[in-house]
A and B are shown apart, each in its own frame.
Chain A
């Protein structure tokens, strides 16, 4: 006998058991709990992470919330007596979390594609089988969302890269990639904010300053922002 026949509810949808996969929740040391969304690395999942982040903001025992790529790190103010209760609570909040759309800003970044900083453009052409012009066109025609900030001050992980120009991170990082390099790491893109070792692949350069530690709001980007790259120069 099916549940539908027994159910007194008007909508069959409301009695379908919740078969949604649970989030994975693990510890990093004593105060940090990492919640990882099940399922795809995509915008709907990230919207649920944004929603969860917002729901947890008002919790008094939480010191810090760090959204990642379809995951969320929660730092408590104190080491909990009952960590399993924290895990259950986070799982409940995740199950309740409906995706929200963040009203982000529109950010346009002028880019010089090719040239001295585009050290990995030839390799990306080889990998994709596309010409350098095609790679550049596909990159600047994309509309990207800032999923999260991290790794370096003000660095935004941008989602929405065309699969044709996905390129794995390097196994041996470039030792001194310049701040401003426009890069591709796997299925993500971004703009390097510090000069230093970097495992992403550079295809261009942007002048825009992404971070100012002395500003009231130090980071230019925020989760939910929409980013477009404007080809200022193409040096191929």
Chain B
């Protein structure tokens, strides 16, 4: 059990989301950085896909009403437990009454607080993720507020080394797999989508120019600013299903990338679709930062997925060994 002492707007409970309901118009939702979600749960020995707190506005403070293990993953938000600095990507034990504080990160956008046993709110349509648009899931379908009490699920006893332990963040461990360009812009791999060729010469410009993430960006989608691109001819589109990562171009010519709370249907021309293995990096991209799109193939996407899966699996195995060793010593 924890209590929220202070929070900015738009912080929510998230898990892996509720895919499989797009055919009735329900957004999948889920953590914007699914890698951080996964690692946080692994560090605590939680069930895969246990719900966590996604923090995207700061400062954020919570009090552990009872003691318990927690993990911090995602953006390095210079966290402190009772005033003592904690490393990022770290799991440790808190005592009853201790206060955890998260401050605005210097880079990246979203931090994840995982709790041993997982955030225990009712599942709605198979998920604990908050759907703000639908006003269901998470904590009564709303954002977190100061004074909220959050229950946690059943916990296995003492699983962490004294003082805690951490992992090398994916952006560091996999920096060759997830590169940035010479100006620090994220290189986001994407596959050409249905209307790509309709953009003619503007399609080249889409791939070549850097795009800035505008302030009108949120969990639903990122609006990109840059030199507008336009299709050669205007085509009448019929509404069709879409998934996060789809890059649509509305009439004004500035692309929108749909994110975790993506609409389930769309009708704007689509120029490309971000590969799934790069979506977590998009989820950590800040408003005002730039990115460039790099054309990719399914084969390249699979290679990136494999590298990412190997990193997660390696941590899973190590965490298991650590827990086994601790159990043997106990």
Contacts and interface: CB of A to CB of B under 8 A. Distances in A.
Contacts of B270: 26, 28
A211 B133 CA distance: 13
A32 B273 contact: yes
Given A28-B270, A194-B133, A63 B20 contact: yes
Contacts of A24: 194
Given A29-B246, A29-B276, A68 B301 contact: no
Interface string A56-70: 000000011111111
A155 B25 contact: yes
B13 to A, nearest CB: 15
Interface stretch (B166-174, B208-216, B233-241): B233-241
Contacts of A63: 19-20
B24 A79 contact: no
B298 A79 contact: yes
A149 B24 contact: yes
A185 to B, nearest CB: 9
Interface string B306-323: 000000000000000000
Given A26-B194, A30-B298, A213-B125, A36 B23 contact: no
Interface in A10-63: 24, 26-32, 34, 36, 41, 63
B25 A152 contact: yes
B275 interface: yes
Contact of B238 (A71, A83, A149): A71
B96 interface: no
A213 B124 contact: yes
Given A30-B276, A32-B273, A81-B302, A68 B240 contact: yes
A70 B137 CA distance: 31
B302 A79 contact: yes
Contacts of A211: 24-25, 134
Contacts of B125: 213, 218
A68 B24 contact: no
Interface residues of B, number: 42
B305 interface: yes
A29 B274 contact: yes
Contact of A153 (B25, B193, B245, B298): B25
Contact of B298 (A64, A81, A171, A194): A81
Interface string B163-183: 000000000000000000000
Interface residues of A, number: 45
Interface in B235-269: 238-243, 245-246, 251, 263-265
B84 to A, nearest CB: 41
B225 to A, nearest CB: 20
B273 A27 contact: yes
Given A27-B193, A63-B20, A151-B264, A34 B136 contact: no
Contact of B19 (A41, A64, A151, A171): A64
B239 A150 contact: yes
Given A29-B191, A29-B275, A157-B239, A65 B305 contact: no
A151 B220 CA distance: 13
A180 interface: no
A83 B190 CA distance: 15
B25 A150 contact: yes
A135 interface: no
B242 A28 contact: yes
B23 A69 contact: no
A34 B272 CA distance: 13
B26 interface: yes
A219 interface: yes
Given A64-B20, A68-B265, A152-B133, A219 B242 contact: no
Interface of A: 24, 26-32, 34, 36, 41, 63-73, 75, 79-81, 83, 148-155, 157, 171, 193-194, 196, 211, 213-214, 218-219
Interface of B: 19-26, 124-125, 133-134, 136-137, 190-194, 238-243, 245-246, 251, 263-265, 270, 273-277, 298-299, 301-302, 305
20 contacts: A27-B193, A27-B273, A28-B242, A28-B270, A29-B243, A34-B240, A36-B240, A63-B19, A73-B240, A83-B298, A148-B23, A148-B239, A150-B22, A150-B264, A151-B239, A153-B25, A153-B26, A213-B125, A218-B24, A219-B24
